[in-house]
Chain A
């Protein structure tokens, strides 16, 4: 046999093979075809491979490669047909009912409060904020004293405090992280501090003894109330939508001055007044203010040189209103049917 004759025989097999494979109508006839093509005993390809030795030595390499290519192609075609025939056999010869449901799996979910925190973090990250954390059981000094709460003053009555020891509290807000951060790192400071805080509030539809809060703090030279308004309004537009209107109104926190609450125009009634906004047209979103010089001084900073602003917001409030959750306790119950609603 010459190389030319060998190649001609291979090509014939390569051309003929697929048609014969497709002609197999069940697994038995498929086995016959397979044996005829590549069977060890009498397969045509096996015969040809056996004839390789008879070729001139310098042709064997090319012939061998060509034979191998044909072998791989035939094997693939055989396997594909076998799978089709096996599936058809398993289905009793009938086609699949493609209306049947997919094989599902469990999907996980991020808690709705964490989702709000994520979104807030995302927006402030774009503005160069980093994430700071602090302990939940705190020295009273970090929770109150360093934040300019006058000792034994009615301002403390706004924070129903849980105590774990003498001068040791479960932090009533995330603001202690402000002071810890200012003591640890030099300005410029741009941080966001999410975390859990505690109040001695009985569990009811709108109050929880522990809830999440997000604190923000900026301290540097030349930081002004204009920066506070600009950044928080920008946040509101990013968070609630580009056309969101904000307003700032006077408030009081011992650790900021001037202090301001930020409202956004009610998204339900667009400011005309409804039950969601208690007919005011505005919904309170966060408390904010310029960092009180006494706080900078408590952290060992020069309050003439540095100024700053801070804010705090409650992501659970936002989660409740955006998802229409009627009772805050649902967020804590951990009912899988509730959690699963956030999985898809």
Chain B
């Protein structure tokens, strides 16, 4: 809402400057987001006082000495006839640019120059030169006590400021100057007034002709067919009007609140909207078929050309104003082109009505057209203001249009008073943390229009004013009290608190463990968008969750795996010539479950590509990430993610390399990742583990809870047990074996471990070799076996015995023989 500081002051003569009002409104009412000096072009001008003046012979010029507050008197040549010693005038120092005019569109730059042999160091200005009026006969005399050098804007009323108030949906009463003025009046202790332009209007001759659903007067009949959506409809019939330019005060008011002056009648309707908060509509009475106005639902197939020139197809969701034949306006949204006020209009119907938020919202959404009027109706207008604005508005239009009010019609019911709400002082004290006496509560609420009746006890019965549709519960009153008193005046002592019953969510602690492990591995955490194109899916609508109203049709789905997102991010990096990519994300995937909410899983995805280490002069070409790095990351990650489970990686079918098992459950995969990659890019490897499911079922029905008597806290994992350090020496030997290609390393190792007995401490594969000396169909694998007896040194004989036992078993069970030189 754009508020003109000057217009506001006509409602409430608070006597404060705009910055003070801005701070008050922000602290107590709603945030003032914008603060704009409307005549910022006058900011460089100052008050100048003429100290000496003499005529320059044979010219109309005078030579003056001017005090501009700088401490040095300036010599200034002036052509005006009214220069008076001791008087103050607007003064432009050299370097100042005078506001643009028709004569000089860029604005004249005042510079030091010689005129008739006299030096001039600035200019004393007329009202016209400053765009402050038409008076060009002489310089503008300032009636002010301000000392020379004071900024001109500080002494001239031309310094209007536009305040942009961020009005939130609960306070539609602030969408007008009067509404904001009510708050300022309360906050400054200034009585709310009526602007002179309204106070001096001649009242319409007679009160409105009333009716429940229909009434007529002044040759016009009004009928409400849809009472539920239009509780009140007022119409003023005006005649003898002349459409023309607005008077200055009206034009200035409309422009100061951010509008554009159109003509006297339209500007007057905007005055009522922005000044009093009531949307009104004026239309040309001559265009009404049958001199009838009906408020009804639109009919299927009906069309209307609205004021913006658009032809709109109507349907019964919409409420319209109609004459005897057709729809003439979209109720509460926009008028029709056919009934628009034109330069030849003389007879006008002024509509002042109440349409319900529901119907205006429905109409606005159906036509996709939001206006100042629909904005206010959707949030709710003051129903008690309709009759008042009908009378005031009729008088205002008659005044600015030079016509007369023929009749007023008002159909519908006067609004019922708002239901009273009880405010307990004890409850306010509990919520706000400070006891506020009943008298102060009463004072604060009364100042903004609430009627407070004592109950004799510790409570008040409070009736909200008609414009405060948002106040329906006790807590609404407590908020009123808190903000009017000032949030900053409420206490803020930090106090102790009882510990909560909620345990940390296990998925958060898993995230932290996994993240720390991966950062330690040198990987970068990312937080990309989870949308996907679905291009890789044969039937994406079955496999993926589709956003019904996606931001773009290129990525309308939610992902079902994190690795796909990381692959797109890796490609983004490749496009920027970045081939060393180590990304991970802990994020959500969405698996469709028919009409139910998708199944959500927390996953960790990892993608590595490029060099394993930065280049160093000892290693100019470091190795690239490969399968074995990916396997190591997966093992490490799985252990961190599932500390209580036995982790195993099981070879799987391409493109998957391994599936990751935690106990019996498969928790993820390790894969080669296919990328849209340039030739220089190294292969990419990825892994993705599911950390857990995030349930989305309802916890309990609306209005109920599911509290267990003693909420279960998850049991801490069993602590790691210390293994005593050995006190005896180890014995180790290497086994270089010829292994048929059909036999896996794991088969051999399982057998080695099974045959070696409990003294085997470690069994490490350290070499694989194919080629010279190795028969076809075989490979050489070499293990180092470490044995240790817990109490004594193992004897050579014992070791040799084990070795031959192992070789015998390997040969017998797997056809694996020792590799001899």
Contacts and interface: CB of A to CB of B under 8 A. Distances in A.
Contacts of B523: 108
A183 B699 contact: yes
B702 A222 contact: no
B504 interface: yes
Contacts of A138: 597, 696
Given A191-B502, A210-B530, A297 B703 contact: yes
B760 interface: no
A104 B501 contact: no
A186 B519 contact: no
The secondary structure that dominates the B interface is loop
A187 B492 contact: no
A185 B547 CA distance: 32
Interface stretch (A11-19, A51-59, A74-82, A224-232): A224-232
Interface in B10-30: 26-30
A231 B527 contact: no
Nearest to B166: A251
B503 A224 contact: no
B750 interface: no
B668 to A, nearest CB: 20
Given A127-B497, A154-B379, A188-B500, A224 B699 contact: no
Contacts of A109: 519, 524-525
Interface stretch (B310-318, B611-619, B738-746): B611-619
B704 interface: yes
A231 B494 contact: yes
Contacts, number: 308
21 contacts: A101-B616, A105-B613, A105-B614, A133-B505, A134-B694, A136-B588, A137-B590, A145-B702, A154-B379, A162-B551, A163-B547, A183-B704, A191-B500, A200-B549, A202-B551, A222-B430, A224-B431, A230-B491, A247-B488, A250-B487, A339-B525
Interface stretch (A1-9, A20-28, A258-266): A258-266
A203 B529 CA distance: 10
B547 A106 contact: no
A24 to B, nearest CB: 27
Interface stretch (B40-48, B108-116, B268-276, B578-586): B578-586
Contact of A183 (B497, B503, B595, B706): B706
Interface string B561-598: 00000000100110010101111000110100001011
B679 interface: no
Contact of A181 (B493, B502, B550, B702): B502
Counting contact residues on chain A (CB < 8 A from B), the size range is: 35 or more
B578 A250 contact: no
Interface string B498-521: 111111110111000001001111
Contact of B600 (A137, A166, A203, A250): A137
Contacts of A201: 551
Given A132-B502, A135-B694, A342-B524, 4 more contacts: A103-B616, A111-B525, A225-B432, A292-B475
B197 interface: no
Interface string B362-394: 000000000000000011000000000000000
Contact of A300 (B31, B379, B518, B703): B703
Given A101-B616, A113-B527, A226-B432, A128 B497 contact: yes
A130 interface: yes
Which of A139, A227, A293, A336 has the most chain B CB within a 10 Å cutoff? A336
A94 interface: no
Nearest to B524: A339
Interface string B535-576: 000000000011111110000001000000000010011001
B551 A220 contact: no
A218 interface: yes
B143 to A, nearest CB: 32
A33 interface: no
A187 B597 contact: no
B476 interface: yes
B431 A260 contact: no
Given A101-B616, A138-B696, A224 B432 contact: yes
B488 A248 contact: yes
A262 to B, nearest CB: 9
B147 to A, nearest CB: 25
Contacts of A166: 595
A239 interface: no
A44 interface: no
B578 A164 contact: no
Contacts of A278: 33
Contact of A137 (B28, B545, B705): B545
Contacts of A129: 500
Contact of B519 (A108, A212, A247, A340): A108
A88 B572 CA distance: 47
Contact of B487 (A146, A155, A248, A336): A248
Contact of B500 (A189, A261, A293): A189
B168 interface: yes
Contact of A229 (B30, B491, B530, B597): B491
B490 interface: yes
A167 B267 CA distance: 44
A337 B491 CA distance: 47
Nearest to A300: B705
A300 B597 contact: no
Contacts of B715: none
Contacts of B487: 225, 229, 247-250, 258, 260
Interface stretch (B57-65, B243-251, B477-485): B477-485
A100 interface: yes
Interface residues of B, number: 107
A130 B503 contact: yes
Given A105-B614, A225-B490, A334-B572, A301 B705 contact: yes
B522 interface: yes
B81 interface: no
A152 B169 CA distance: 12
A332 B524 contact: no
Nearest to B34: A278
Nearest to A157: B169
Contacts of A275: none
Nearest to A292: B475
B702 A146 contact: yes
Contact of B169 (A141, A154, A247, A337): A154
Contacts of A339: 524-526, 583
Given A101-B616, A107-B522, A293-B473, A114 B702 contact: no
Contacts of A240: none
Contact of B497 (A154, A188, A299, A343): A188
A155 B522 CA distance: 45
A31 B521 CA distance: 43
Contacts of A180: 699
Which of B483, B521, B581 has the most chain A CB within a 10 Å cutoff? B483
Contacts of A218: 497
A208 interface: yes
A293 B490 CA distance: 21
B388 to A, nearest CB: 25
Interface string A231-259: 10110000000000001111110000111
A108 B597 contact: no
B431 A225 contact: yes
B171 interface: yes
Contacts of A203: 529, 551
A332 B358 contact: no
A158 B433 CA distance: 30
B588 A258 contact: no
B551 A104 contact: no
Contact of A336 (B33, B431, B502, B581): B581
Contact of A226 (B29, B493, B588, B704): B493
Nearest to B505: A133
A170 B431 CA distance: 32
Contacts of A290: 431, 475
Given A108-B582, A212-B527, A226-B491, A163 B379 contact: no
Contacts of B170: 155, 252
